[in-house]
């Protein structure tokens, strides 16, 4: 499946774009996506944390992704 | 005679325009409240003795609003809150500008202080908003690296 992943903050700088088309095997989970992204973009490993948001909610550990999901990469937040 | 047009102030709000602190406070007005606590986060001119020129805030708008709503709900569940309002700025902010305003009204002051502190502490941990500090000689996404 092909995900269109939204990038924010430092992840946008690391990956060089605000929306990344990313190929993943069907039935991949949130941790699968994190591992694949870190393998392709090693600079992501240097971040204090990295979360995945699925349809505007923080993704759960065992959550399976679907092509229709709105997926976003959430580096450490720093609002306020 | 011109009619006064009352602008409804949303409780949860993300904006590129300057935040009107008095409007956020007015949004939590309640006759049942004996206290209103307000937190105002402003742009500081330095970080670790390095001079900050300006800040840039970026938000994942749809999720940030949702997390702000969830946060408001959590606050309502933990304290006897009359009303709560959270406004956060995004875009480019100059030194001294207001980045965030949280106002909470409760029957008594103790709960207002506690609820407001919890709200800003939790916002900083959960709401997908990112702050970039621009220095004279570089820039950094705050908290990105250990």
pLDDT in tens, B28-71: 999 999 999 999 999 999 999 999 999 999 999 999 999 999 99
Tell whether A59 is within 8 A of chain B (Cβ). no
Q: What is the pTM of this model?
A: 0.94
* Alpha-carbon span A42 to A67, nearest angstrom: 24
- Asked whether the predicted pLDDT for residue B2 surpasses 60, the reply is no
- Spell out the alpha helix ranges (H) of chain B: 21-27, 61-78, 109-126
B66 vs A contacts (CB less than 8 Å): 56-57
Tell whether A77 is within 8 A of chain B (Cβ). yes
* Alpha-carbon span B46 to B55, nearest angstrom: 11
Q: What is the arithmetic mean of pLDDT over A38-64?
A: 97
So what's the ipTM on this one? 0.96
Tell whether B141 is within 8 A of chain A (Cβ). yes
Domain ranges, ordered by start, for chain A: 2-74
Q: What share of chain B is helix, strand, coil (3-state, %, to 5)?
A: 30, 40, 35
CB contact under 8 A, B124 and A77: yes
Domains annotated for chain B, with CATH where assigned, are 19-135 (3.90.1170.40)
CATH homologous superfamily of A2-74: Beta-grasp domain (3.10.20.30)
Tell whether B107 is within 8 A of chain A (Cβ). no
pLDDT in tens, B106-146: 999 999 999 999 999 999 999 999 999 999 999 999 999 99
Nearest to A56 among B57, B59, B66 (CB): B66
* Alpha-carbon span B129 to B117, nearest angstrom: 18
């Amino acid at each position: 499946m092909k995900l269109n992943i939204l990038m924010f903050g430092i992840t946008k700088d690391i990956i060089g774009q605000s929306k990344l088309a990313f190929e993943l095997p069907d039935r991949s989970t949130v941790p699968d996506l994190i591992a694949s992204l870190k393998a392709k973009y090693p600079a992501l490993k240097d971040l204090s944390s990295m979360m995945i948001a699925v349809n505007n909610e923080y993704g759960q550990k065992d959550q399976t992704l679907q092509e229709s999901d709105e997926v976003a990469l959430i580096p450490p937040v720093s609002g306020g | 005679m011109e009619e006064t047009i009352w602008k409804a102030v949303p409780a949860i709000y993300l904006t590129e325009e300057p935040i009107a602190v008095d409007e956020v406070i007015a949004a939590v007005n309640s006759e049942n409240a004996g206290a209103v606590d307000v937190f105002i986060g402003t742009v500081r001119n330095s970080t670790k003795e390095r001079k900050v020129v300006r800040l840039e805030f970026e938000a994942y708008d749809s999720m940030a609003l949702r997390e702000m709503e969830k946060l408001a709900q959590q606050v309502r569940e933990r304290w006897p809150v009359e009303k709560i309002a959270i406004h956060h700025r995004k875009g480019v902010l100059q030194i001294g500008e207001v980045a965030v305003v949280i106002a909470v009204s409760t029957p008594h002051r103790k709960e207002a202080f506690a609820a407001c502190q919890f709200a800003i502490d939790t916002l900083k941990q959960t709401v997908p908003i990112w702050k970039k500090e621009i220095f004279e000689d570089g820039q950094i996404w705050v908290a990105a690296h250990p």
